[in-house]
């Protein structure tokens, strides 16, 4: 049996993630206390369900502290348990609650939305380190569905290295483990013919091939990652997100992320372009 746990901040897209898994053939349950996971899995097993997705979040906050222990117990039963933690920047969450006019689950205590978000972050602090984190800020629903499916399909017995391009003008991704700033590189944005293109286009690749400093920077990043990846494997990490940032997340960061993903093809690699997904 495979069990995918969805957790994270209210308004970060947990419902979208759960629906994506339901479309992928998972039997989905929303808002189950962590202390009921053992019993629920046993019941679903008797009915022959092999793929289950369950949302566990602050709506059942008294049981959150038991989640790490319950996950370990399930693994000891031979169940493939994974957790996806969704989060977003505070201003993004406030905007989403304002647009949908929905109440925050913790708002009953008379707190403002910002105060509810801070309180929820504190309640979930121990949960976010249990699995793969996804920052859904500036991310479309279609992109989130794609990222969720990619993470679920990855082999959990191997370290998954996620190369993610982004634009600093939109903020540093919350889910980044390493951040490399490549804004020091020549910028094709200032060439009107190259401006509409992205780092995936052949013309942009040819543009960067002119500059030895681009190859030097990539070589330094490759050497750093090659040196430290073994340490993360020994630490039993399942996911490592390497974020590459330029100004707008369209040219330099995309090109570098694409190149690094190819360099580490022998690893289990996922490639994300955060800003290219904004309007998808």
Mean of pLDDT over the chain: 94
Same domain, 147 and 226: no
Residue 59: the pLDDT is 85
Q: Count the domains in the chain.
A: 2
Same domain, 76 and 141: yes
CB 274 within 8 A of CB 139: yes
**Percent with pLDDT over 90 in the chain:** 86
Domain CATH code at residue 10: 3.40.50.300
Same domain, 99 and 213: no
pLDDT at 226 over 50: yes
Same domain, 82 and 142: yes
What residues contact 246, with CB distance under 8 A and at least 6 apart? 165, 167, 168, 182, 183, 185, 187, 252, 253
Same domain, 136 and 173: no
Model's pTM, two decimal places?
0.90
Same domain, 235 and 214: yes
Which of 153, 181, 196 is the last residue in one of the domains?
153
Same domain, 219 and 127: no
CA 18 → CA 85, 110, 117, distances in Å? 12, 29, 21
Q: 98 lies in which domain range? A: 2-153
Question: Which tens digits make up the pLDDT trace of 171-212?
Answer: 999 999 999 999 999 999 999 999 999 999 999 999 999 999
Same domain, 112 and 187: no
Same domain, 31 and 118: yes
pLDDT at 279 over 80: no
Question: Which tens digits make up the pLDDT trace of 84-135?
Answer: 999 999 999 999 998 888 888 888 777 899 999 999 999 999 899 899 999 9
Residue 80: the pLDDT is 94
Question: Which tens digits make up the pLDDT trace of 64-76?
Answer: 889 999 999 999 9
Same domain, 131 and 165: no
């Amino acid at each position: 049996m495979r069990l995918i746990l969805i957790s994270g901040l209210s308004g970060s897209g947990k419902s979208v993630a759960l629906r994506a898994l339901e479309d992928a053939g998972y039997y989905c349950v929303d808002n189950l206390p962590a202390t009921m996971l053992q019993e629920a899995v046993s019941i679903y097993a008797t009915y022959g369900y092999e793929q289950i997705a369950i949302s566990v979040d602050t709506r059942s906050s008294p049981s959150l502290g038991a989640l790490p222990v319950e996950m370990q117990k399930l693994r000891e039963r031979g169940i493939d348990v994974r957790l996806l933690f969704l989060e977003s920047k505070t201003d993004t969450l406030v905007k989403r609650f304002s647009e949908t006019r929905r109440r925050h689950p913790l708002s009953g205590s008379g707190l403002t939305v910002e105060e509810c978000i801070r309180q929820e972050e504190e309640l979930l602090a121990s949960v976010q380190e249990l699995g793969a984190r996804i920052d859904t800020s500036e991310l479309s629903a279609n992109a989130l569905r794609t990222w969720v499916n990619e993470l679920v399909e990855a082999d959990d017995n191997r370290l998954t290295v996620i190369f993610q391009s982004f634009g600093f003008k939109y903020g540093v991704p919350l889910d980044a483990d390493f951040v490399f700033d490549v804004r020091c590189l020549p910028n094709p944005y200032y060439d009107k013919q190259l401006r509409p293109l992205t780092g995936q286009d052949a013309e942009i690749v040819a543009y960067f091939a002119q500059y030895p400093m681009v190859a030097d920077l990539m070589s330094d990043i490759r050497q750093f990652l090659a040196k430290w990846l073994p340490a993360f494997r020994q630490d039993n990490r399942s996911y490592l997100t390497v974020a590459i940032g330029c100004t707008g997340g369209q040219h330099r960061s995309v090109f570098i992320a694409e190149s690094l993903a190819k360099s580490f093809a022998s690893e289990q690699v996922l490639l994300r372009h955060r800003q290219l997904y904004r309007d998808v």
